[in-house]
A and B are shown apart, each in its own frame.
Chain A
Amino acid sequence: MHARHPTDPRVTAGVIALTAIALLIGGAFAGLLVEGAGDLSGAWAAFDPYLLRVVRFTLWQAALSTLLSVVPALFVARALSRHPRFFGRAFILQLFAVPLALPAIVAALGILALYGRAGYFAGLFSAVGGQGWPGIYGLSGILVAHVFFNLPLGVRLFLEALQTIQADQWRLASQLGMGPRPAFRLIEWPALRAALPGVAGLVFMLCITSFTIVLTLGGGPAATTLEVGIYQALRFDFDPARAVALTLLQIALTFIVVLALTRLGTNVVGDTNLPVAPRRYLSVKATEAWLNAALIVLALVFVAGPMAATVAAGLGADLGRLAGEATVRQATLTSAVLACLSALLSVVLSLALTMARRALALNRRAGPRTMLEHATDTGAGFVLVVPPIVIGAGWFLLLRHAGDVFAIAPVMVVTVNAVMAMPFALRAVRPAYDVGSERHERLCAQLGISGWTRLRLIDWPSLRRPLATAFAFAMALSLGDLGVIALFGSDSVQTLPYLLLARMGSYRTEDAAGLALLLGLVCLALVMAAHWMGREKNRDA
Chain B
Amino acid sequence: MPDGAASRLERGASVRLDKVLFSYGEAPLVFDVDFAATKITAIMGPSGSGKSTLLNLVAGFETPRSGRVLIGGADVSVQPPSARPVSMVFQENNLFAHLPVEQNVGLGRSPSLRLTEADRTDIAEALLRTGLAGKEKRLPRELSGGERQRVALARVLVRDRPVLLLDEPFASLGPALRDDMLDLVAGVHAERGMTVLFVTHQPQDARRIGQNVVFLDNGAVAATGKADDFFTGAGPDAFRRYIGSGVGDAVSRDIARKRT
| Shortest Cβ gap from A539 to chain B (Å) | 13
* Known A447-B107, A458-B96: A2·B77 in contact at CB below 8 Å: yes
Residues of A within 8 A of B82 (CB): 445-450
A4 sits at the interface (CB 8 A): yes
Over the window 447-473 of chain A, the binary record of Cβ atoms lying under 8 Å from chain B Cβ atoms (1 yes, 0 no) is: 111100100011001100000000000
The reply to whether A365 and B24 contact each other, CB–CB distance below 8 Å, is yes
* Known A366-B24, A445-B61: A462·B111 in contact at CB below 8 Å: no
B80 sits at the interface (CB 8 A): yes
| Shortest Cβ gap from A333 to chain B (Å) | 36
| Shortest Cβ gap from A57 to chain B (Å) | 53
The reply to whether A2 and B64 contact each other, CB–CB distance below 8 Å, is yes
Residues of A within 8 A of B99 (CB): 457, 461
Give chain B's interface residue range (CB within 8 Å of chain A).
Answer: 20 to 34
A3 sits at the interface (CB 8 A): yes
B258 sits at the interface (CB 8 A): no
A1 sits at the interface (CB 8 A): yes
Residues of B within 8 A of A448 (CB): 80-83, 111
Query: A440 to B92, alpha carbons, bound, how many Å?
Result: 10
Residues of B within 8 A of A366 (CB): 24-25
Number of A-B residue pairs with CB-CB distance less than 8 Å in the complex they form? 71
A window 419-454: CB within 8 A of B: 438-440, 442-443, 445-450, 453
Would you call the interface of chain A mostly helix, strand, loop, or mixed? helix
The reply to whether B61 and A447 contact each other, CB–CB distance below 8 Å, is no
Query: A450 to B60, alpha carbons, bound, how many Å?
Result: 15
Partner of B60, one of A1, A445, A449, A457: A445
A321 sits at the interface (CB 8 A): no
The reply to whether B81 and A445 contact each other, CB–CB distance below 8 Å, is yes
Residues of A within 8 A of B196 (CB): none
Partner of B80, one of A367, A445, A461: A445
B window 145-189: CB within 8 A of A: 159
Residues of B within 8 A of A5 (CB): 78, 80
Residues of A within 8 A of B111 (CB): 447-450, 453
The reply to whether A457 and B112 contact each other, CB–CB distance below 8 Å, is yes
The chain B residue sitting closest to A366, CB to CB, is: B25
The reply to whether A440 and B78 contact each other, CB–CB distance below 8 Å, is no
The reply to whether A461 and B98 contact each other, CB–CB distance below 8 Å, is yes
The reply to whether A442 and B90 contact each other, CB–CB distance below 8 Å, is yes
The reply to whether A365 and B65 contact each other, CB–CB distance below 8 Å, is no
Query: A288 to B19, alpha carbons, bound, how many Å?
Result: 74
Query: A446 to B161, alpha carbons, bound, how many Å?
Result: 12
The chain A residue sitting closest to B66, CB to CB, is: A1
B93 sits at the interface (CB 8 A): yes
The chain B residue sitting closest to A6, CB to CB, is: B80
A window 13-63: CB within 8 A of B: none
B14 sits at the interface (CB 8 A): no
B88 sits at the interface (CB 8 A): yes
Residues of A within 8 A of B59 (CB): 442, 446
The reply to whether A446 and B88 contact each other, CB–CB distance below 8 Å, is yes
The chain A residue sitting closest to B90, CB to CB, is: A442
Interface core residue of A5, A440, A450 (most chain B CB under 10 Å): A5
Partner of A442, one of B61, B96, B108, B112: B61
B window 41-60: CB within 8 A of A: 59-60
B63 sits at the interface (CB 8 A): yes
| Shortest Cβ gap from A450 to chain B (Å) | 8
The chain B residue sitting closest to A448, CB to CB, is: B82
Residues of A within 8 A of B87 (CB): 446
B94 sits at the interface (CB 8 A): yes
A window 476-523: CB within 8 A of B: none
B143 sits at the interface (CB 8 A): no
B128 sits at the interface (CB 8 A): no
The reply to whether A447 and B112 contact each other, CB–CB distance below 8 Å, is no
Residues of B within 8 A of A447 (CB): 82, 107-108, 111, 159
B133 sits at the interface (CB 8 A): no
Query: A457 to B106, alpha carbons, bound, how many Å?
Result: 12
The chain A residue sitting closest to B24, CB to CB, is: A366
Query: A447 to B107, alpha carbons, bound, how many Å?
Result: 7
The chain B residue sitting closest to A439, CB to CB, is: B93
Interface core residue of A1, A440, A446, A462 (most chain B CB under 10 Å): A446
B113 sits at the interface (CB 8 A): yes
| Shortest Cβ gap from B97 to chain A (Å) | 7
Query: A365 to B62, alpha carbons, bound, how many Å?
Result: 10
Residues of A within 8 A of B78 (CB): 2-3, 5
Query: A448 to B86, alpha carbons, bound, how many Å?
Result: 12
| Shortest Cβ gap from A281 to chain B (Å) | 37
The chain B residue sitting closest to A440, CB to CB, is: B96
| Shortest Cβ gap from B104 to chain A (Å) | 9
Extra 14 A-B pairs, beta carbons < 8 Å, given A4-B63, A447-B111: A2-B63, A2-B64, A5-B80, A366-B24, A439-B97, A442-B88, A442-B90, A443-B90, A445-B82, A446-B59, A446-B60, A449-B82, A457-B96, A457-B112
5 interchain residue pairs of minimum CB distance: A448-B82, A366-B25, A461-B98, A445-B81, A449-B111
17 contacts between A and B (CB under 8 A): A1-B65, A4-B63, A440-B93, A442-B59, A442-B88, A443-B93, A443-B94, A445-B81, A447-B108, A447-B111, A447-B159, A449-B82, A449-B112, A457-B96, A457-B99, A458-B96, A462-B97
